[in-house]
Amino acid sequence: MTRDLKTLLRSGDTAFGTWSQIASPEMVDLVGLNGFEFTIIDCQHGFFGLETAENLARAADANDIAAAVRLPGNDPIAIMKALDAGIRHVVIPNLETAEQAERAVAATRFGPHGLRGACPCCRSGGHFIRNWPDYVAEEEARVGAIALVETAVGVDNIEAIAATPGLTALMFGPFDLSVSMGLNGDWRHEEVERRVSHMVDTAIGLGVPVMMPVFSPHVEEARSLVTKWKGRGVSTFVIGSDKILVSDAFSRWTSALLGT
């Protein structure tokens, strides 16, 4: 059975994942084989669509790691297609209001509780082979929406967003937040850190799990950030991205060998 993201998030145990921005199942193999427990397939900034994301999710399943997909926007149709493809969680970017969060959650649930279209002839449903009532019960328990809050407006509305029934977790985007604040990508700025800290405290206070991106390409800084956020109650971390990690490995090899 493939690792379940909800179980990871709710366990309170430290868990590490990354972003999959390279359209390669082999890269997802390496993510899993090197000990990461989940990956977020990036259909917002990765240059591929849900057809590719489905195959990356198959690679995640084969390596027993959990997978989510970051969609380009809060589109109910895209959310439903991602879930039908067997990707159990969707990350919704630029989420700024409770109403937007409610819309995302509704798209993950079958009627009468939500908007998700009911089709047994899809990958997640076993292509009409599985028992439908059992499948629906399993989907209701394991799929969900993760709100990515990454703008100043989202920070202002964080209490209402975090209180949205049915959200699996909250994620925060320090880089985008810095841009929305006019700080031009300075995600280390003290005001960015203050606002992210406020969002973390709000989520933890309401019992909502937090997924914290750790952007730094420097291992020691990343370790320091993980330690800091663990002290604030965060247990799930999205480390770099496949591009950042591969680039770091390349640069270390070239730096070591070019002088020989």
Which is the catalytic residue, given 45, 113, 127, 218?
A: 45
- Rounded distance between C-alpha atoms, residue 214 and residue 230, angstroms: 12
45 is catalytic: yes
Q: Are 71 and 79 in contact (CB under 8 A)?
A: yes
The helix-helix angle for 50-62 and 76-84 (nearest 10°) equals 40
**Both tokens of residue 163?**
């209180």
Q: Are 66 and 8 in contact (CB under 8 A)?
A: yes
SS3 67: strand
- Rounded distance between C-alpha atoms, residue 71 and residue 144, angstroms: 13
**Both tokens of residue 22?**
């390279």
φ/ψ of residue 32, rounded to 5: -70, -40
Just list the catalytic residues.
45
